[in-house]
Structure 1
Amino acid sequence: MASSLSFTVCRREPVLVAPAKSTPHEFKPLSDIDDQEGLRFYSSGIHFYRNDPSKEGRDPATVIKEALGEVLVHYYPIAGRLREWPGRKLVVECTGEGVVFVEADADVRLEDFGHAPSPPFPCVEELLYDTESFGSILDRPLLFIQVTRLKCGGFIFGLRINHTFVDAPGVVQFLTGLGEMARGAAAPTLTPVWERELLNARSPPRITHAHPEYECLAGTDVLTTSPPADMVNRSFFFGPKEISAMRKHAPPHLRSTSSRFDLITASVWRSRTAALGYDPDDEVRVLFVVNARGRRNPPLPSGYYGNALAFPVASSAAGRLSRSPLGYALELVRKAKASVTDEYMQSVADLMVLRGRPHFAMARTYLVSDVTRAGFEAVDFGWGEGVYGGPASAGVGAVPGVASFYTWHRNKGEEGILVPMCLPGPAMERFQMEMESLTEEPAFDPYHNNTNINNIFIHY
């Protein structure tokens, strides 16, 4: 089993890779969406690649390292360092110092990770450069890359990148350009665009929307008091059969209009809340990352690689959420997602300036990030598309269980969405029971013939 896999990685000394040509020395402020507290960390990604016999004699680490210097000419701010100006304003000084690159070798084969690798990965910290010892994101490299060669001839590409600089689409844009240059292109197909001022606060700033995502809840979350040894990791696969069943648990007017994301998020949030046994009157939330690129008028320019995201939140009393049929959670999720408009994004930027760039609240909150459409799996350095490409870990944040990434996954020939979950042992068993009730065909239509829906799906 891949989960019990153990192997040794031998790293060479890290080196700095600078842009291959001279680049401008200048100061570039980040946007007021970029530099909020909740993004001031290094996000991690990982890509697994098979051996390609036609590449015999070509070292992937050498190929990628050379292409990295070339692509940094176009993305030269990434080779700089962050500074902080008054008002906690983050600014990149384009110094051209470079990014960190490490090559390594592991005594393991790609097939040892299983036929369809997915997080959590064994020994994942051995495949990523350690940034945990940094006390600050200031005056540090913005990007760390490790290329680990495998015994089978395949390799693993791991990266950590400062999240204030890029969101998931921005990372994919950069990696796609890196891959193009590794395959011999003279420049990235998509020219990078800075223009961070497009997501800055107004003058004077004014908050025009309610933003509960930045308002802390009173009290604690059971997950913050659960010993790490009691936590259990498990992943849940949602293929065509599971999605079809969840649609039939939804009210008729939402069955055809709800996306897979809507259905999965509502189901997981409802089941997780019931499993954790909150007090009925406790307010619980689901917070999700929404890509605002396609929601602006006019849209952000093609090639924009900064953070263009929002964290809308749906909330409910725990008892009502757990007792109500799926349609209740589904309506809340859809409404929160639809709230992200041009004015909403502008209001967030203004809030950052007025309130000191706060962190989004996490108590009794479940955060989900859907990266199934980001395109990580399509990144090609010349060895074809990856066996897996996406987040390096199952969740987001320092506290286990508060968040999950949604990733594409193939299970027994079916393509679907994989949702990792981390919960205390007894809660995990309850969560699985709750999810099984929503991913099995209902015995009857709970919304037909004026059935008293308030008495349905009560499991305790």
Structure 2
Amino acid sequence: MAMPTILVRRNEPELVVPAVPTPYEFKPLSDIDDQEGLRFYRSGIYLYRQSDAKAGADPAAVIRAALAEALVHYYPLAGRIREASPGRKLLVECTGEGAVFVAADADAALEELGDVMGPPVPCHGQFLCEPDGAYTGAAVVGRPLLFFQVTRMRCGGFVWGFQICHCLADAAGVVQFLTAVSEFARGVPGAPTVPPVWAREIFSARRLTQAIVRHHPEYEPVPDAGRDKVSPGDALVHRSFFFGRREVAALRALAPPELRTKSSRFDLIAAFMWRCRANALAYDAGDLVRVQFVVNARGRKGRSPAVPKGFYGNAFAFAVAESAAGELRRRPFGHALLLLVSAKVQAMEEGHLESVANLMVARGRPRFAVARTYVVSDITRSGLRDVDVGWGCAVYGGPATATLATFHLAGRNEAGEEGVLVPMRLPAPAMERLKLEVARGLGKTLAGAPSRVSLSEIGFAKL
């Protein structure tokens, strides 16, 4: 669909400081937080309709005041990152300088953006304070850690865009903070329902040994990494693929019997899309290709030390499965699934995340490798869509943009069925091949023969 053209008039940015004075101190980030690959700003957008119950209320003023209250409890987000040398260790100087806030007005109604089901959100650049992806690496040092923009739409609805430094929070941490903002916006008295916990020391390297006790291919490039078939600088197109009840059942039926009950919905979809994507990009048979995905440490039974409730830092490791492209193409879906499930089990082993922290210190905090790699994470249960600042649940709440890395999002198809959306971004020829690969992969189970399955029948979602 054609992107609409709208005019957004932004007020001058201002710094919102905590509502009351907060401690001045230095807080070291963990050795998971400060790796090179997380030194960037995550962005997200919420779309809210007009609410009769909030008639006359200014959403920008409401969210601005709520932000000031939330920063009292999350005061490191009002500070600035400093880098110590040697070792490139990141610390937060809790200066209380504040977060950037912009109030804006648009000449369009929310409906003009269309039925937004996933990224990229139309006109997202107009709803974010800064260009998406503009600040990475050393650029996170000394800059504000949080940016909010609230854009009032002509219809009475509004758009809330945010950008937050990934070194401070993962997806669960971002949702926890935004939920705190939403509670203050709704007038919930006192402290946030879930008090924030810093506790970054639980993911710091063991200084005495710094032992790297696990294999971590995610930080090792594939051979001949420069021969990748796709890069962010290519002309890329977007498309989302929808997996509802029928699609997930079809994938489970394709799985080997011993994996059908062991494999989660994420496992099935991620392994399937890895295989389809690798085939669509037409890698040479001998090229090593990977799928890389997030394994969360929160709520894991028996983990020592346990991740405390309220922890909002990065609490995950990357799991990596790899295969020669020819093997992935020649062997059935169960091959890809077994590799992915096995990689997940390894990343969940006791000591794996600590080994990552030790690797960061020992090897200078390297960036994770992405060449010939399908990077994906599951945020279907993150609660991102449920943040309510007083105007009810958002029409859309999720990532602002899509990149070569992707997410599993809670969403729906054009018929209104709830399921999982997987946004993809590839060169146009590869995207056409990907649509056919997905149709071919699902078609045998859904309709008996690929030729009888239309793209709409197997759940493609249009953006």
Whether 1:364 and 2:372 are equivalent positions in the alignment is yes
Aligned equivalents of 1:387, 1:444: Cα separation in 2: 33
Q: Deviations over 1:161-216 (max 9, x none)?
A: 00000000000000000000111122211110001001100022100000000001
Aligned equivalents of 1:25, 1:258: Cα separation in 2: 47
Deviation at 1:257, TM superposition (A): 2.6
Please, which of 417, 439, 442 is the counterpart of residue 414 of structure 1? Answer: 417
Deviation at 1:406, TM superposition (A): 1.4
Q: Deviations over 1:52-76 (max 9, x none)?
A: 0111110000000011111111111
User: Which ranges of 4 or more aligned residues in structure 1 deviate by more than 6 Å?
Assistant: none
Whether 1:37 and 2:44 are equivalent positions in the alignment is no
Look up the match of 1:398: none
What is the identity, as a one-letter code, of the residue corresponding to 2:122?
Answer: P
Aligned equivalents of 2:262, 2:313: Cα separation in 1: 30
Look up the match of 2:250: 245
Look up the match of 1:266: 271
What is the identity, as a one-letter code, of the residue corresponding to 1:126?
Answer: Q
Aligned equivalents of 1:316, 1:90: Cα separation in 2: 35
Assess if the C-alpha contact under 8 Å between 2:197 and 2:311 holds in 1.
yes
Aligned equivalents of 1:252, 1:304: Cα separation in 2: 38
Aligned equivalents of 1:247, 1:96: Cα separation in 2: 51
Look up the match of 1:99: 99
RMSD over aligned Cα atoms: 1.7
What is the identity, as a one-letter code, of the residue corresponding to 1:24?
Answer: P
Whether 1:405 and 2:407 are equivalent positions in the alignment is yes
Look up the match of 1:454: none
Q: 1:257 to 1:441 in 2, by over 3 A?
A: farther
What is the identity, as a one-letter code, of the residue corresponding to 2:323?
Answer: S
What is the identity, as a one-letter code, of the residue corresponding to 2:215?
Answer: A
Q: 1:248 to 1:441 in 2, by over 3 A?
A: farther
Look up the match of 1:192: 196
Deviation at 1:225, TM superposition (A): 6.0
Assess if the C-alpha contact under 8 Å between 1:245 and 1:438 holds in 2.
no
Whether 1:4 and 2:7 are equivalent positions in the alignment is no
Assess if the C-alpha contact under 8 Å between 1:116 and 1:409 holds in 2.
no
* TM-score, structure 2 as length reference: 0.91
Q: How does 1:280-359 map to 2 (within 5 A)?
A: 280-295=285-300, 296-340=303-347, 341-359=349-367
Assess if the C-alpha contact under 8 Å between 1:119 and 1:392 holds in 2.
yes
Q: 1:428 to 1:20 in 2, by over 3 A?
A: same
What SS does the corresponding residue of 1:373 show, helix, strand or coil? coil
What SS does the corresponding residue of 1:352 show, helix, strand or coil? helix
Look up the match of 1:457: none
Look up the match of 1:222: 228
Look up the match of 2:19: 20
What SS does the corresponding residue of 2:60 show, helix, strand or coil? helix
List runs of 5+ in structure 2 lacking aligned partners: 449-463
What is the aligned-residue identity percentage? 57
Aligned equivalents of 1:107, 1:441: Cα separation in 2: 48
Look up the match of 1:455: none
Aligned equivalents of 1:164, 1:389: Cα separation in 2: 21
List runs of 5+ in structure 1 lacking aligned partners: 396-401, 446-460
Look up the match of 2:452: none
What SS does the corresponding residue of 1:19 show, helix, strand or coil? coil
Q: 1:344 to 1:305 in 2, by over 3 A?
A: same
Q: 1:221 to 1:175 in 2, by over 3 A?
A: farther
What SS does the corresponding residue of 1:206 show, helix, strand or coil? coil
What is the identity, as a one-letter code, of the residue corresponding to 2:166?
Answer: H
Whether 1:156 and 2:163 are equivalent positions in the alignment is no
What is the identity, as a one-letter code, of the residue corresponding to 1:191?
Answer: P
* TM-score, structure 1 as length reference: 0.92
Deviation at 1:444, TM superposition (A): 11
Whether 1:232 and 2:240 are equivalent positions in the alignment is no
How many residues are paired up? 437
Assess if the C-alpha contact under 8 Å between 1:371 and 1:405 holds in 2.
yes
